[in-house]
Chain A
Amino acid sequence: MKYAYFPGCSANSTGISYSMSVDYMCRKLGVGLEEIPDWNCCGTSAARITDRDMALALPARSLALSEKMDPELSVFAPCAGCYSSLKTSATYAKESDENRQRLEDIIEMPYEAQADVVNILDILADPEVLEAIKTNMVKRFEGLKVASYYGCALVRPEGMCQQDSTENPMVMDNVVELIGGTPVEWSYKTECCGASNHITYPEASKPMVERIFRNAAANGADIIVTACPLCWMNLDMREAEVNKLYNREYDIPVYYVSELIGAALGGSFKELGCDKHFRPAERLFDHLQDVPATDAAAQKEVVA
């Protein structure tokens, strides 16, 4: 299994724990990632609001470069924002030859638009990947209640993302269960974290983060897992602010789902980038137990 890899701008800054843990997870699972040479920013909401063509053409350049590298590979963008921009552009180009040529004219590159764009949920829903996790797991979580937080861009718009559900997606919950965690049923799985409004309109966005922690806490979550660098930053970086502002005592570390999977696959605190969180993130590892050797062998046998 191999993908063209679009790391996105946050991969080497605020999303560094995400890129490190995705990289670790994919290596352990035998999922090849080949970085798209000379990829550029997807443009995200800034391009969308400036001009529709800009929002379609900026990702189209990276998609065309991926095609040039290997036309057979689907493009994997771990960042939910990048995924959304790239997928919108690819979907538009696939809609009609006229659309596709319009993008070719803007980027002045050939673009056949054959390849698909996938996010981490698409990968984690793949039975082959789930099987690989089962076979390669060396540790499992015990007594860890996990609220899976999907946010917006991985599940909406519905027609484009085609996840199992837009209101109650289960892909991360299922993986969490597979590696020993206890999925928490809660109401804020797909509520918006506030996105870039935290910069442009902070007083309107803080309540959004507070509500997410409140609902996770009310349902007994020990931790929250996300699959988006912006969601992660808005939650992890702002938990302390929200506590101070609203006089709360939320104590819920926020992780990437790839950090949890990576830990189950044997990754260390540092290898997975868990030392690069705003809030202390050691707790996750207190809940890890070795998978008994006999079990592991048995699992391998079943698979074989």
Chain B
Amino acid sequence: MQTIDLSQIPASNKEEIADIAQRAGVNLKDCYQCGKCSAGCPMVEYMDVLPRMVIRDLQLGLLDEVLKAKTPWVCAGCNVCSTRCPQNIDIAGIMEEVRRASKAAGYDPVPEASKFEEYFLDNVRKYGTSREVTLAMKFNLGTGHLFQDAFNAPTMVFRGILGNGHHKVQNMDAVRMILEKTTPKEGDKA
């Protein structure tokens, strides 16, 4: 067995990895691979790379492995991993930052997940709020899952679960300005 010195990994993508860690407020070297994050993760059986291994790959400079993995896109953001980590590493925060970097690098390992976010923000851009029904319909049409959850629609209408009218933001310019200023631009660093 060979000793690996984490400070000596000659990673060409060192900067990108440091950026992911810094944005998530994590020191990757804190992780000693106990695996508690992966043991408690409710989505783990559907992940291709264990949460523990995502951190390991980043420690080792294997950025591509992480960017093309489904794991960060399958993560439900429940924060169990971050809460139980004995080293206080925000693993869920790392997952969010890896998703962002994965998207910026042009990977799309779970297209449904990236589409959902896109449509969600379209709604916010248009109305300043999220409209669940518009969102669900757009999602079904946009991803080809035409009848997903559609059988619940009659109940929703009949029981009045859809309510009566939405909150409409008056100052839409203010909301759009925030979105405009904070949407990553083409060519932004991954």
Interface residues in chain A, defined as those with a beta carbon under 8 Å from any beta carbon in chain B: 7, 9-14, 16, 38-41, 43-54, 57-58, 61, 106-109, 152-153, 156-158, 166, 190-192, 194-197, 199-205, 208, 237, 275-278
Report yes or no: B117 in contact with A51, Cβ–Cβ below 8 A: no
Partner pick for A9 among B73, B131, B136, B183, CB 8 A cutoff: B131
Report yes or no: B117 in contact with A45, Cβ–Cβ below 8 A: yes
Report yes or no: B160 in contact with A197, Cβ–Cβ below 8 A: no
Partner pick for A40 among B128, B139, B152, B182, CB 8 A cutoff: B128
Give chain B nearest CB distance to A22 CB in angstroms.
Answer: 14
Q: A13-B133, A197-B76 are in contact. Are A275 and B159 (CB under 8 A)?
A: yes
Given A41-B123, A53-B181, A199-B116, 4 more pairs with CB closer than 8 A: A61-B174, A157-B79, A197-B43, A201-B112
Report yes or no: B170 in contact with A38, Cβ–Cβ below 8 A: yes
Q: Contacts of A106 on B, CB cut-off 8 Å?
A: 178, 181-182
Kindly state the separation between the CA atoms of A14 and B131 in the bound complex, as whole angstroms. 10
Interface residues on chain B, number (Cβ under 8 Å): 63
Q: Which of B151-190 contact A (CB under 8 A)?
A: 152, 155-156, 159-167, 169-171, 174-175, 177-179, 181-184
When each residue 121-164 of chain B gets 1 if its CB lies under 8 Å from chain A and 0 otherwise, what string results? 10110001111110010010000000011001001100111111
| CB of B96 closer than 8 Å to a CB of A | yes
Report yes or no: B78 in contact with A192, Cβ–Cβ below 8 A: yes
Kindly state the separation between the CA atoms of A276 and B163 in the bound complex, as whole angstroms. 9
> Which 6 residue pairs of A and B lie closest in terms of their CB atoms, listed nearest first?
A192-B78, A54-B182, A46-B120, A156-B79, A204-B46, A12-B163
Kindly state the separation between the CA atoms of A196 and B43 in the bound complex, as whole angstroms. 13
Report yes or no: B149 in contact with A200, Cβ–Cβ below 8 A: no
Give chain A nearest CB distance to B162 CB in angstroms.
Answer: 5
Q: Contacts of A9 on B, CB cut-off 8 Å?
A: 129-132, 166-167
Report yes or no: B112 in contact with A107, Cβ–Cβ below 8 A: no
Report yes or no: A204 in contact with B148, Cβ–Cβ below 8 A: no
* Chain A interface, DSSP helix/strand/loop, else mixed: helix
Q: Which of B54-82 contact A (CB under 8 A)?
A: 73-74, 76-80, 82
Interface residues in chain B, defined as those with a beta carbon under 8 Å from any beta carbon in chain A: 23, 42-43, 45-46, 73-74, 76-80, 82-83, 90, 96, 99-100, 103, 110, 112-113, 115-117, 120-121, 123-124, 128-133, 136, 139, 148-149, 152, 155-156, 159-167, 169-171, 174-175, 177-179, 181-184
Kindly state the separation between the CA atoms of A204 and B110 in the bound complex, as whole angstroms. 13
Tell me the nearest residue of chain A to B136, going by C-beta.
A199
Tell me the nearest residue of chain A to B81, going by C-beta.
A156
* Chain B interface, DSSP helix/strand/loop, else mixed: helix
Report yes or no: B182 in contact with A57, Cβ–Cβ below 8 A: yes
Partner pick for A199 among B124, B149, B159, CB 8 A cutoff: B149
Kindly state the separation between the CA atoms of A157 and B160 in the bound complex, as whole angstroms. 34
Report yes or no: B82 in contact with A14, Cβ–Cβ below 8 A: no
Report yes or no: A48 in contact with B112, Cβ–Cβ below 8 A: no
Report yes or no: A157 in contact with B83, Cβ–Cβ below 8 A: yes
Partner pick for B169 among A40, A156, A208, CB 8 A cutoff: A40
Report yes or no: B178 in contact with A197, Cβ–Cβ below 8 A: no
Give chain B nearest CB distance to A173 CB in angstroms.
Answer: 20
Q: Contacts of B99 on A, CB cut-off 8 Å?
A: 49
Report yes or no: B148 in contact with A202, Cβ–Cβ below 8 A: yes
Report yes or no: B149 in contact with A156, Cβ–Cβ below 8 A: no
Q: Contacts of A203 on B, CB cut-off 8 Å?
A: 46
Partner pick for B82 among A57, A107, A157, CB 8 A cutoff: A157
Tell me the nearest residue of chain B to A43, going by C-beta.
B124
Q: A41-B128, A53-B182 are in contact. Are A156 and B78 (CB under 8 A)?
A: yes
Q: List 6 A-B contacts (CB under 8 A).
A: A12-B164, A40-B174, A199-B136, A200-B116, A201-B74, A208-B43
Which of A13, A58, A157, A191 has the most chain B CB atoms closer than 10 A to its own CB?
A: A13
